[in-house]
Structure 1
Amino acid sequence: MKFLSFPIMLAALSANAQKNNPVEEVVVTGTKRDQALQDVPSSVNVLTESDIAEAGIKRPKDFLATVPNVTFIEDNAGEVYVNIRGQTAVRNSDPNVAVVIDGVPLVSLKAFNQDLFDIQQIEVLKGPQSAVYGRNAAAGAIVITTKQPGDETEGSMSAGMGNFGSSRMSVGLSGPFSDELKFALSAATRETDGPFTNQLTGEKVQRYKTSLGRLRLFYNPNDDTSVNFRLAAHDSKGGGTAYNGQFAGVPIGGVPVPALDANLMLPFVSNVAGFSEEEMLDMALDVERQLDFGSIRSITSLNSFDQTFGGDGVPYIADSGAEGALTQMYTYDDEVFSQEFRVSSNADGRIQWMAGVYFLQFKRDQISELNQDVNGTLLRTRGVDGPDTIAPTASYTNSEFETTNYAVFANMQMDLSDRLTLELAGRYDVEKREVTEKAPEAFNLCVQAFSTPLSACNDSTTFRNFSPKASLIYLAGDDLTLYANYGKGYKSGGYNPLGSRQALITAGAGAGVDESDIFVQDQFEEEVSESFELGAKGKFFDQRLSVNIGIFHTVVEGAQQFEFFPSAGLQTVTSIDEVELKGFDVDFTALLPSEYEVFGGYGFTDGEVTEFAANPSFEGNTAPGSVKTTATLGVTKTFELSNGLSLTPRLEVTRYGSIWWDVANTPGTERDPVTIVDGRLTLAEGAQWEVALWGKNLTDEEYYQEVVPLLGVLSVNYRAPTRSYGVDFTYHF
């Protein structure tokens, strides 16, 4: 299929402007008030229910992959990172993007990477949203709204299968118990062997199986009161730590590795089989009451998330019995409680406002364990394994983290004239972080570093931050909006395992490493950003063409970065003093003659390390994790057939620019640009049923979606899926 050039497309739209079939009108809820997309003073990408169905979106990566200046990184052991406009998320640190499901922000993105079903709308808001959502929304927010039931009982069933032994199934049912009480019940399963096989063990290293379910109850005793309750759970199992190791000068699986090369595909040759297991239970209660002046709302949530995964240790080769050969296992037990109260004005006044308070209690029990790899055995026991076992423990940390957050927030929207609107927002967060090291004394880094009793291995600190945001919105015409905004973003600091720095200094001294070259501290500081944005949103040619443009400049102080020290079993966070990010993004949707729909977008981010006192030679390097360019172009059209049938082909091309992964810009670890082609062909009978043939990465592009450079001569890389294809069937009743 050949894409039209932009000038030809404009000419075609102009010639067809008299046809009244505009691009779908969208209402955005991510600002905590309902606003037309045209009126939101931020760059926003929205997928409606019809968009989700047409694109065959099943998982977060399916929609985030096509949003300009947004990248999504995942692995099969549950790690998830969402990067927006160069502001990156890293392991063992809080996210930089707030993920909000039915009004409740997730504390950890580990619980985000699940199958999506019964979704009403997905919104991606770029730029600082800390004034609205507080902690961990410095780069933006992803707002997901699930479907509410109607007045009639209805449901759907969906099933699919694909290569790599993949299959999926989901079912949903919703309707009324009575005039006041309605329900929505849904469940889904998915499993796959994944595309890659370990050459030694025969293990399907990216295998995955998950089951999940959700119950929602809606109670409306009268026109002024609504009560929404959500209960969700999932259980998943699969492979773990399925990475390729590159060690300069060491052949891997018969493939020579003379130097690090982020574009060299390597086989899986570990002799240790990995695993991952996770369970989540999530509950939320949302109560709203309408009053004469506006409304009051309470949102209460409770979440527990338990995860364990493990496998071979770096460098992921068959090295059992060799000196220093290790296996690794990590455990996370999370418990979260949050409560928000807010009061809002009516939406019909010249001045609209909202104010509220927020409370969060987050506890995490985290264990990192390295065991000697004597004979390729990975022990799944939780705790220290003695010297007489088949895999004695070599390193063990057990950190208990506790976060308590209090916040107050308010925002106001004032119409200065018929065309000019001012929006002001602010949020003040007080966050206390506590850590306790609970590992036995023989392995406790805190006891060893500070010669202190185990009972004294704890610390706490409190972070305080005010995040303001100001926006001006100007209606330049009925279908053209200009905006400017300024905002601050905030991500709390935290702790590495107590004693980490001293342990690394001690280990480095034996290897001739100077203390000044070790950047890790036991406590890492907060990350604060300041951002400016100018943008425009327009609809042209009788609203058949929708275009959104945003230009931004962001300065990040204390940009948090991940540092892994495999020999010590330490996963730590360090900070870059200052990173500067500047660029733009543009997206469009156009309805051409004959009802072809063309859509696309382009994002450019110039990220630079501008200050790094620990090693000034890194200043001027490309900011790690920042993809320089992203581009998407797609086309679709529905062809009406006989007997009520329709056929809809869809083709989408996405290109990611180059990316560096660490502040040092380690030679050989820059990934080359990647181009991905996806396609879908759907046959449907009205709203009754549909069958879709789909393919992802149709050109079978081979690349690493994540590279973790270590020590300048080693990197561990996570392979992206190769070509996949399959068929889906959906029936509505």
Structure 2
Amino acid sequence: MQSSFPSQARPLTVALLALSAACASSMAWAQASSPEPAKPATEEGAAKLETVVVSAQRRLERLQDVPVAVKAFSSKQIESMGIKSTQDFINLTPNMSFDNSFTYGNSFVVLRGVTQINNADSPVAVVIDGVPQNDQKQLKMSLFDIERIEVLKGPQGALYGRNAIGGAINIETKAPSDKFEGFVGLGLGNGKTRELTGGISGALKEGVALYRLVGQSKRGDGLIQNTFLNQPLDAIDKDDSLRARLLLRPSESVQIDLRASATDLRGPATWDSIVQSKNPADIVAPKENMLGKTWGSTRDFSAKVEADLALGTLSSITSRTKLVENYRGDIDFSNPVDLPKGFLGLGFQAGQGQNRSVQLTSQELRLTSPADQPLRWIAGLYYLDTRKDLETRVFVDTDGSNDQFDDTSKVIVNLSERSHNKASALFGQLDYDFNPALTLSTALRYDRDQREQQDLIGGGMREASYSKWQPKLTLTRKLGRDDLVYGTLSTGFRSGGFNAPGLASFRPESLSNAELGSKMVGLDGRLLFNVAAFASQSKDFQYFYVDIKSGSQVIANLDKVNIRGLDMDFRYLPFKGLELDGGLGMTHSIIAKDSINAANEGKHTPKNVPFKLNLGLQYSQALGAGLMGSMRLDYEHRDQKYWHPDNAAVSPALDLLGLRLSLRDARDRWSLTLEGKNLADKRYYADYNSAAYSGLPYDLGSLASGRTYGLELKYRFD
């Protein structure tokens, strides 16, 4: 097994990880041997950090007992940090970035250097309430009524499958309650943003049938100005979500969790700016003559059944999803005044659009042994059926309207394809306690993808299959109740697939990872410090570009990439009411071999941010008259970002500030919050494509929103 890991990375790995383990051991020894520090002067004696529970290993465990680098957010932290979207919690997570561009639902997540790209499987497995989300468009979401968020870093393929090559995201929504309760929230912000959230929960039959129904509606006029049309181009016409859960307990040993959700949206699309200077530091306003739009819907249903047997807990998770996303917009990202010769000098303006429909059906069966024994195990089977239809067109633009997509007399490029993917897997994990302080964990997963692509215009058909064994080995040493060190060897896999009809397919990507980490709690429960160092090697690293000859979106491979880095998280409670938190991430992701373009060797991988720092300060204080006040200040530093394999386009480092001021009653019945993000109004591109990769003779930058601020009122009742 060791031979699958990069030999050139081992010396650095050993050095970094030995240092990490030595630091943790020294800190634990110092804590045990030094005199007990004076307790802070509070009303109740020594304050302690909140204990966070996670399900990272498919069991509920304390965060500090899990030998995985996990960034976790409890419901209390989600509330205090103002986490309301995928973007929010990823901004707070070291070694991770998230960019939204091109369509309202499109996103690019990067975790430890492994990148999400268009039209391919995500590098991060996303699981909501135990149900895998299997499409790229399901990552960007509004987060409301959330109990817990967990970001697992490093390959998690053994338990989470082929899409966990970079890590996994677990999201748990709040469960139905026995007693009747509810909430309503109203948010108003700049750009005429309006957001209404509400929900109710209770029992149809106490202890037997519980329900929870929550929803959110969002509108906004936009913040990014199109200077040619003289209007914002990022308006949210609607983003409506409804989620229902029904929890049934027909007996003490059986639980049935039924979940249904629906989302309808209409938002922006193709809001890129032409950057003639070819410098990502040069901020240019969009000047398109077409106002791009995305619209679509998601319908999702799942059933999770758990039965306690003598052997363990048998879980069945069935899911059915239908997702539609359509977009229309400019393809030359210009207008007749600035581009009089037209699209590619052809004498006319041009637009683009796509209709995308996906149906996903999945089934997982899992048997989990009891947790209170020295030998613990998990075994399971998984199946996923994906059917996708894509219709993509480029058309002559004569009047700037989006409905020109449907005028066949204006269509100049027409691509239509249907794909069918059947994925199956078997997996298992064994944990054995040699003694209370030493645990060995082994896991193994086998994934197989069978893919078909049909060209609905040309009539061609392609078929291929991809498979991979993904082993994992972890040794954990407990140094105390709250302290441990661990070492892990793990693997991840992302399937290969097909580009547009007529273009070559792309190869599957695999990653081998070596990691050492430590976790500790000190200062009488007031300090949490977790650190992990890792070294990985990726084979056939996948990346994305637009082919300038055909105008097609292309996924290609870099033969070999070496990745090494460090993850660190901390929380510190100096005294009751004041908490500091943060972390840093370092990812050195370098192209070791590129057989297509050797000039890229030695350069950073696409979308790599080598360094990220997060710091947060939160202070709460009783104000009298039954009122509580709180303030939270967040600082995020992002290092420069390398957009493409040639490293020619590099965005400068970025510093972002956020502030939340809240007032609530002592019983937490109501709260009023004033919030601001990107307070310094830093302008930057959330995505950037230089001419060599955009398919156009100029660079394109997709602007992120500038400063945002708003007021939020919440009321809870029972």
Flag whether TM exceeds 0.5 (same fold): yes
User: Shift in Å at residue 268 of structure 1?
Assistant: 1.5
Aligned to 1:187: 215
Q: Secondary structure at the match of 2:645?
A: coil
Contact 1:204/1:239 (8 A) holds in 2? no
Choose from 235, 239, 243 the match for 1:210: 239
Q: CA 1:380–1:548 in 2, change beyond 3 Å: closer, same or farther? A: farther
Looking at structure 2, the residues matched to 419 and 245 of structure 1 have their Cα atoms a distance apart, in angstroms, of: 59
2:218 maps to a residue whose letter is R
Secondary structure of the corresponding residue to residue 434 of structure 1: strand
Is the Cα contact below 8 Å between 2:47 and 2:575 reproduced in 1?
no
Aligned partner of residue 177 in structure 1, secondary structure: strand
How far residue 12 of structure 1 moved from its aligned partner, in angstroms, is: 14
Partner of 2:259: 230
Q: Which of 376, 383, 393 lines up with 1:369 in the alignment?
A: 393
Instruction: Tell me the secondary structure at the aligned position of residue 408 of structure 2.
Output: coil
1:379 equivalenced with 2:360 (yes/no)? no
User: Structure 2 CA distance, aligned partners of 1:321 and 1:234?
Assistant: 41
Q: Which runs of 4+ in 1 moved over 4 A?
A: 10-15
Please give the alpha-carbon distance, in whole angstroms, between the structure 2 residues aligned to 1:616 and 1:400: 35
Match of 1:110, SS? helix
| Contact persistence 2:120–2:136 (CA under 8 A) | no
Between the aligned partners of 2:496 and 2:390, the Cα distance in structure 1 is 17
Deviation for aligned residue 1:565: 2.9
Q: Give the counterpart of 2:53 among 15, 27, 35.
A: 27
**Using the alignment, how far apart are the partners of 1:483 and 1:30 within structure 2?**
15
Q: For structure 1, which runs of at least 5 residues remain unmatched after alignment?
A: 1-6, 247-256, 445-453, 501-521
Q: Which residue number in structure 2 is paired with residue 650 of structure 1?
A: 632
State the distance in 2 between where 1:539 and 1:595 align.
Answer: 19
Aligned amino acid, residue 727 of structure 1 = L
1:696 aligns to what? 677
Alignment-derived partner of residue 353 in structure 2: 329
Alignment pair present for 1:596 and 2:578: yes
Contact residue 493 and residue 527 of structure 1 kept, 8 A: yes
- CA distance in 2: counterparts of 1:275 and 1:381, whole angstroms: 12
Q: Which amino acid aligns with 1:720?
A: A
Deviations 1:195-245 (A, max 9, x none): 112122234211112011011000001110000000000000012111112
The CA deviation at 1:144 is 0.3
Letter in 2 for 1:132: L
Instruction: Judge conservation of contact 2:642–2:651 (CA < 8 Å) in 1.
Output: yes
Aligned pair partner of 2:661 in 681, 696, 718: 681
SS at match of 2:158: helix
CA displacement at 1:379 relative to structure 2: 2.6
In 1, Cα distance between equivalents of 2:72 and 2:48: 16
Matched, 1:87 2:114: yes
Say whether residues 1:424 and 2:427 are aligned partners.
Answer: no
Question: Does residue 34 of structure 2 align to residue 50 of structure 1?
Answer: no
Match of 2:66 among 9, 20, 40: 40
Aligned mate of 1:245, from 274, 282, 290? 274
DSSP-derived class of the 1:495 partner: coil
Q: Is the 8 A contact 1:17 1:544 kept in 2?
A: no
The one-letter code of the counterpart of 1:615 is: N
Please report how far the alpha carbon of residue 566 of structure 1 lies from its aligned counterpart in structure 2 after TM superposition. Answer: 5.6
Secondary structure, aligned partner of 1:524: coil
1:146 pairs, out of 173, 186, 199, with: 173
Q: How does 1:46-195 map to 2 (within 5 A)?
A: 46-75=72-101, 76-179=103-206, 180-195=208-223
Q: Which moved more, 1:478-487 or 1:280-289?
A: 478-487
User: Contact 1:532–1:552 (CA<8 Å) still a contact in 2?
Assistant: yes
Q: Distance in 2 between matches of 1:348 and 1:214?
A: 35
1:672 aligns with 2:652: yes
Between the two proteins, what is the percent identity of the paired residues? 30
String of CA shifts for 1:138-165, please: whole Å, max 9, x gaps: 1000000011122100000001101011
Equivalent-residue separation in structure 1 for 2:620 and 2:440 (angstroms) = 41
2:148 and 2:173 in contact (8 A); partners too: yes
Question: How far, CA to CA, are the matches of 1:315 and 1:307 in structure 2?
Answer: 21
Query: Are the aligned partners of 1:28 and 1:123 in contact in 2 as well (CA < 8 Å)?
Result: yes
- Matched residues in 2 for 1:696 and 1:16: separation? 35
1:580 aligns with 2:562: yes
Q: How far did residue 315 of structure 1 move?
A: 4.0
Is the Cα–Cα contact under 8 Å of residues 39 and 46 in structure 2 kept in the other structure? Answer: no
How far apart in 2 are the matches of 1:299 and 1:683?
Answer: 41
Q: Which residue of 2 aligns with 1:514?
A: none
Conservation of the 8 A alpha-carbon contact between 1:366 and 1:400 = yes
> 702-711 or 564-573, which moves further after superposition?
564-573
Per-residue CA deviation, residues 360-402 of structure 1 (Å, 9 max, x unaligned), is 00111112110012343333555xx433xxxx11111112111
CA distance in 1: counterparts of 2:490 and 2:271, whole angstroms:
39
Cα distance, 1:237–1:28 mapped onto 2, change above 3 Å:
same
- Corresponding residue number in structure 2 for 1:353: 377
Distance 1:12 1:719 in 2: 54
The answer on whether the counterparts of 1:183 and 1:215 sit within 8 Å (CA) in structure 2 is yes
Secondary structure of the residue that 1:273 maps to in structure 2? coil
Q: Report the equivalent of 1:465.
A: 468
Amino acid at match of 1:109: Q
Deviations 1:71-113 (A, max 9, x none): 1111253111221111111111110001100111111131231
Following superposition, the deviation at residue 498 of structure 1 comes to 2.1
Q: Which moved more, 1:574-583 or 1:102-111?
A: 102-111
Give, in whole Å, the separation in 2 of the partners of 1:320 and 1:571: 26
Q: Partners in 1 of 2:40 and 2:511 — Cα distance?
A: 43
Distance 1:675 1:211 in 2: 32
Instruction: Give the Cα–Cα distance (whole angstroms) in 2 for the partners of residues 109 and 498 of structure 1.
Output: 21
Distance 2:212 2:434 in 1: 43
8 Å CA contact 2:361, 2:386 repeated in 1: yes
Aligned position for 1:564? 546
Q: Is the alpha carbon distance of 1:222 and 1:65 closer, same or farther for their aligned partners in structure 2, counting shifts above 3 Å?
A: same
One-letter code of the match for 1:346? P
Aligned counterpart, 1:721? 705
One-letter amino acid of the counterpart of residue 420, structure 2: E
- TM-score using structure 1 length: 0.89
- 8 Å contact from structure 2 (residues 365, 380) kept in 1: yes
Note the aligned Cα RMSD (angstroms): 1.8
Q: Are residue 641 (structure 1) and residue 627 (structure 2) matched?
A: no
Matched with 1:449 is none
For 2:519 and 2:716, the matched residues in 1 are separated by: 36
Contact 1:271 1:320 in 2 (8 A): no
Q: What's the CA shift for 1:21?
A: 1.9
The 5 Å alignment of 1:279-358 reads 279-318=297-336, 319=339, 322=342, 323-324=345-346, 325-358=349-382
Instruction: Pick closer, same or farther for the CA change 1:275–1:16 going to 2, 3 Å.
Output: same
